[in-house]
Amino acid sequence: MGLTEPDPTDEVLRALAEPRRRTILRLVAHDELSAGEIAATFEVSRTAISQHVTVLKNAGLLTERRAGTRRLYRARPEGLAGIRAFLDEMWAGALDNARRLAEAERGLSDDVEAERTG
Contact positions toward its own copies, by CB under 8 A? 7, 10, 13-14, 16-17, 19, 22, 25-26, 28-32, 67-68, 74-77, 80, 83-84, 86-87, 89-91, 93-98, 100-101, 115, 118
Please choose, from the candidates 15, 18, 13, 57, the residue with its C-alpha nearest in 3D space to the C-alpha of residue 35: 57
Query: C-beta of 40: minimal distance to its own copies in Å?
Result: 20
52 binds, among DNA, its own copies, none (CB under 5 to 8 A by kind): DNA
**Residue 46 is inside which H or E element, if any?**
helix 46-58
**Cα 10 from Cα 4, distance rounded (Å):** 13
**Cα 61 from Cα 29, distance rounded (Å):** 10
Among the listed residues 26, 29, 31, 54, the single contact to DNA using CB under 7 A: 54
58 binds, among its own copies, DNA, none (CB under 5 to 8 A by kind): none
**Cα 6 from Cα 115, distance rounded (Å):** 56
